[in-house]
Structure 1
Amino acid sequence: MICENLLKSLSSKLSRRRLLRLAAALPLLSKSTAVMAAQQSDKAAATQQRALSRIAFGSCAHQDKDQPIWSDIMGSQPELFVFLGDNIYGDSDNPEVLAAKYAKLAAKPGFSSLRQQIEVIATWDDHDYGRNDAGREYPSKEASRKLLLDFFGEPASSERRTRPDGIYTSYLYGESGQKVQVILLDLRWNRSAITRIQDPQRQQERAAKDRGPYDVSLSAEAELLGERQWAWLEQQLQVEADVRIIGSSIQLLAEFTGWETWANFPKERQRFIELLERYQTEPIVIISGDVHWAEFSRIDETANG
Structure 2
Amino acid sequence: MKHFFLVTLLFSSALSTQIINFQDKSTFKLAYGSCNGWRNRTSDIFKQVLKDEPDIWLWLGDAAYSDRKLITRDLQGDPTRISLTQDEVNYIENRFNASKFDPYYTQLREQNKTKILGIWDDHDYGMGNGDVTFKGKDQVRKLYLNFIDEPNTSMRRNVSHQKGIWEDYLIQLSNNNTIHLVLIDVRSEFNTVSNDRLGDQQWAWLEETFLRNSNASLTIVASGIQMIPDRTLFLDEWEAFNKGKLFEIIRKVKKVNPKLAKMVLLSGDVHFSQFYFNPCHSETGGVKLIELTSSGMTHSAWTQLYCPASFIEMINPDHWTTDSTYRSPIVNEFNFGLLQYDTQNKQPDGAQLQMQIRGMDGQTKIERKVNLSEEGEAMGKRKMCNLLHQRHRKIIQAIHTIKLGISDFKSKRGLSLIWSVGFIAFLFSTIVSTLIRTLSFTASLIKRFT
Q: 2:90 aligns with which of 87, 96, 101?
A: 96
User: For residues 76 and 116 of structure 1, what CA distance do their matches in structure 2 show?
Assistant: 16
CA-atom RMSD in angstroms: 2.1
Match of 2:389 in 1: none
1:236 aligns with 2:237: no
1:287 aligns with 2:266: yes
Residues 108-135 of structure 1, C-alpha deviation per residue, up to 9 Å, x if partnerless?
A: 1011111123111000000010111111
TM-score by length of 2: 0.50
Instruction: Report the 3-state secondary structure (helix = DSSP H, G, I; strand = E; otherwise coil) of the residue aligned with 1:81.
Output: strand
Match of 1:114 in 2: 108
Instruction: Report the 3-state secondary structure (helix = DSSP H, G, I; strand = E; otherwise coil) of the residue aligned with 1:171.
Output: strand
- On the 8 A contact 2:116/2:149 being kept in 1, the answer is no
Identity of aligned residues (%): 26
Match of 1:45 in 2: 7
Residues 123-168 of structure 1, C-alpha deviation per residue, up to 9 Å, x if partnerless?
A: 0000010111111111100001000111212122221111341000
Match of 1:173 in 2: 171
Superposed displacement of residue 44, structure 1: 6.3
Match of 2:56 in 1: 80
1:65 aligns with 2:65: no
Q: 2:154 aligns with which of 153, 158, 161?
A: 158
- On the 8 A contact 2:36/2:42 being kept in 1, the answer is no
Match of 2:250 in 1: 276
Superposed displacement of residue 256, structure 1: 3.5
TM-score by length of 1: 0.72
Larger Rg: 2
Residues 232-273 of structure 1, C-alpha deviation per residue, up to 9 Å, x if partnerless?
A: 00011121411111111000011241234334x321121112
Superposed displacement of residue 277, structure 1: 2.8
Residues 20-48 of structure 1, C-alpha deviation per residue, up to 9 Å, x if partnerless?
A: xxxxxxxxxxxxxxxxxxxxxx7563992
User: Residue type matched to 1:177 in 2?
Assistant: N
Match of 1:124 in 2: 120
User: For residues 99 and 174 of structure 1, what CA distance do their matches in structure 2 show?
Assistant: 34
* Structure 1: gaps (5+ residues): 1-41, 194-218
CA shift in 2, pair 1:164/1:237, >3 Å: closer
Instruction: Report the 3-state secondary structure (helix = DSSP H, G, I; strand = E; otherwise coil) of the residue aligned with 1:296.
Output: strand
User: Residue type matched to 1:66 in 2?
Assistant: T
User: Residue type matched to 2:167 in 1?
Assistant: T
1:222 aligns with 2:195: yes
Which has the higher relative contact order, 1 or 2, with Cα contacts under 8 A spaced 6 or more apart? 1
Instruction: Report the 3-state secondary structure (helix = DSSP H, G, I; strand = E; otherwise coil) of the residue aligned with 1:86.
Output: coil
User: For residues 58 and 256 of structure 1, what CA distance do their matches in structure 2 show?
Assistant: 20
Instruction: Report the 3-state secondary structure (helix = DSSP H, G, I; strand = E; otherwise coil) of the residue aligned with 2:66.
Output: coil
Instruction: Report the 3-state secondary structure (helix = DSSP H, G, I; strand = E; otherwise coil) of the residue aligned with 2:176.
Output: coil
User: For residues 297 and 100 of structure 1, what CA distance do their matches in structure 2 show?
Assistant: 35
| Greater fraction helix | 2
Instruction: Report the 3-state secondary structure (helix = DSSP H, G, I; strand = E; otherwise coil) of the residue aligned with 2:204.
Output: helix
User: For residues 44 and 147 of structure 1, what CA distance do their matches in structure 2 show?
Assistant: 24
Superposed displacement of residue 192, structure 1: 1.4
- On the 8 A contact 1:190/1:226 being kept in 2, the answer is yes
> Stretches of 4+ moved more than 4 A in 1?
none
Residues 77-120 of structure 1, C-alpha deviation per residue, up to 9 Å, x if partnerless?
A: 21111110101000144221110111111221011111123111
* Structure 2: gaps (5+ residues): 9-18, 72-87, 283-379, 386-450
User: Residue type matched to 2:273 in 1?
Assistant: A
